[in-house]
Amino acid sequence: MGVLKEPHIIDLPRKIVIGRGVIDRLGLYLKELLGSREEGKVVVVTGHTVGKLYYPVIKESVENIGLEPIRVIIDSSTVDEAERVYREIRQIADKVVAIIGLGGGKSIDVAKYSSRKIGKPFISVPTVASHDGITSPFASLKGFGKPISKLAQAPLMILIDTDIIAEAPQRFNRAGFGDVIGKYTAVRDWRLAHRLKGEYYGGYAASLALMSARHVTKHVDEIAAGTEEGLRILLEALVSSGVAMCIAGSTRPASGSEHLFAHAVTMIVKNPPLHGELVGLGTIMMSYLHGMNWKLIKRLLERVGLPTAAEELGLDRDVVIKALTMAASIRPERYTILGERGLTEEAAKRLVKVTGVA
Ligand code: ZN
């Protein structure tokens, strides 16, 4: 490794709280982090449904420490929506002490983005364990007709109430497993880009991302059974994967060709499956291209009840083939096993057939 021209700066989460019923104590943890500030507003970005369920608890908890909660409801995670939220918060910026993202992916991404723009701490309160965006410093938004990943900021605190996560439909937690399994190919792609394109490669961040994939692999049965222990293992893995992105300063350790495929499908179909479900499917195919043990990946996904064929996700074979051929063009600067020009239709057809995906 040569001498670093620019300093490599790593921002990490300060406090990570995982446990049963911890949402009640959000205010107390927040007070510890913010110090003795006696007044100020805490913005809670959330969706309609989740907001109805859990905002009242957060409201009470924040009021108990003498701060004023303000709810901001969002409908989507587009760049426009994130900008709207930013403008809304900007008007009260001098009084805001923290911005909470409460919900699944969208609320967390929008809160992460607007908090960075306004320069206030971001608090992540996920209600599902379906992806690693709950820890990462990147906001995944939709803009210009495609998913984009914007550098936002690492959460000051991640608070995960396992009672809430356990209430979420099993499908979400299974999807989280798919997102973590994707690190096997993401790290391979990163290494490839390093060797072929001279891209920066952080061995430590890569190892951490791989470790989270190995962690869920080792405990696949607990996760499949949906036990409390299984949930905790999955959450640890999602948190570690997000931390790997914090350390790398990019989404590289957590997102490669399997993610490009997932993004492509999201662009093609109107009501796409869950992110982690698509990543799982992508990982089967990309691990085949990498010459890895793709059958093992497939078996792991099957064991937790994740779909391993496009049909199970309601996706047509044509959609999968189209997504495979366009995946490389979504982020041309991100070199992966798909190469610079992506797969030809012929190659895509062969790939879906060999792996039994479609
Ligand atoms: Zn992901």
**What is the 250 CA–ligand 1 centroid distance (Å)?**
13
Q: For CATH 1.20.1090.10, list the domain ranges present in the chain.
A: 170-355
Q: Which of 206, 186, 208, 194 is nearest to 290 (CA)?
A: 186
Cα of 67 vs centre of ligand 1, distance in Å, is: 34
| Ligand 1 centroid – CA 229 distance (Å) | 22
Ligand 1 mean position to 238 CA, how many Å? 10
Q: Please give the distance, rounded to the nearest whole angstrom, from the Cα atom of residue 251 to the centre of ligand 1.
A: 9
For residue 356, the CA-to-ligand 1 centroid distance in Å is 23
Ordered alpha helix ranges (H), the chain: 26-34, 48-63, 79-90, 105-118, 162-167, 170-181, 183-197, 203-218, 220-225, 228-248, 257-268, 275-289, 294-303, 317-330, 345-355
Tell me the residues surrounding ligand 1 (ion) with CB < 5 Å.
Answer: 131, 179
Rounded Cα–Cα distance for residues 256 and 265 (Å): 15
- The CA 248 to ligand 1 mean position distance, Å, reads 15
Q: How far is the CA of 285 from the centre of ligand 1 (A)?
A: 16
- Distance (angstroms) between ligand 1 centre and the Cα of 241 equals 9
Distance 94 CA to ligand 1 centre (A): 34
Q: Does domain 170-355 bear CATH number 1.20.1090.10?
A: yes
CB-based burial of residue 137 (10 Å sphere; 0-12 exposed, 13-18 middle, 19+ buried)?
Answer: buried
30 CA to middle of ligand 1, Å? Answer: 27
> What is the CATH T-level fold of the domain 15-167, as seen in this structure?
Rossmann fold (3.40.50)
Largest CA distance in the chain: 64
Q: To which residue do tokens 């409460």 refer?
A: 102
- Give distance in angstroms: CA of 305 to centre of ligand 1: 18
As annotated, the residues of the chain forming the CATH 3.40.50.1970 domain(s) are: 15-167
Give the Å distance between the CA of 321 and the centre of ligand 1: 21
How much distance in Å is there from the Cα of 132 to the middle of ligand 1? 6
- Alpha-carbon distance 150 to 78, whole Å? 12
User: How far away, in angstroms, is 3 Cα from ligand 1 center?
Assistant: 31
Q: Which residue, among 39, 43, 18, 40, has the nearest Cα to 29 in the 3D structure?
A: 18
**Separation of 279 CA from ligand 1 center, angstroms?**
7
Whole-prediction pTM: 0.95
Q: What's the 41 CA to ligand 1 centre distance in angstroms?
A: 31
Query: What would the 3-class secondary structure string for 62-120 be?
Result: HHCCCCEEEEEECCCCEHHHHHHHHHHHHCCHHHEEEEEEEECHHHHHHHHHHHHHHCC
The pLDDT of residue 4 is: 62
- How far does residue 140's CA lie from ligand 1's centre (Å)? 9
Spacing, Cα 254 to ligand 1 middle (Å)? 7
Q: Which of 213, 209, 192, 210 is nearest to 201 (CA)?
A: 192
- Size of the chain, expressed as the number of residues it contains: 358
CA of 69 to the centre of ligand 1 (A): 30
* pLDDT of the chain, 358 residues: tens digit per residue: 556 678 999 999 999 999 999 999 999 999 999 987 678 999 999 999 999 999 999 999 999 999 999 999 999 999 999 999 999 999 999 999 999 999 999 999 999 999 999 999 999 999 999 999 999 999 999 987 788 888 899 999 999 999 999 999 999 999 999 999 999 999 999 999 999 999 999 999 999 999 999 999 999 999 999 999 999 999 999 999 999 999 999 999 999 999 999 999 999 999 999 999 999 999 999 999 999 999 999 999 999 999 999 999 999 999 999 999 999 999 999 999 999 999 999 999 999 999 999 9
CB within 8 A of 135, min separation 6: which ones? Answer: 13, 16, 124, 154, 155, 158, 238, 239, 241, 242, 243, 245, 246
Amino acid 121 reads: P
Measured in Å, residue 95 CA sits from the centre of ligand 1 at 34
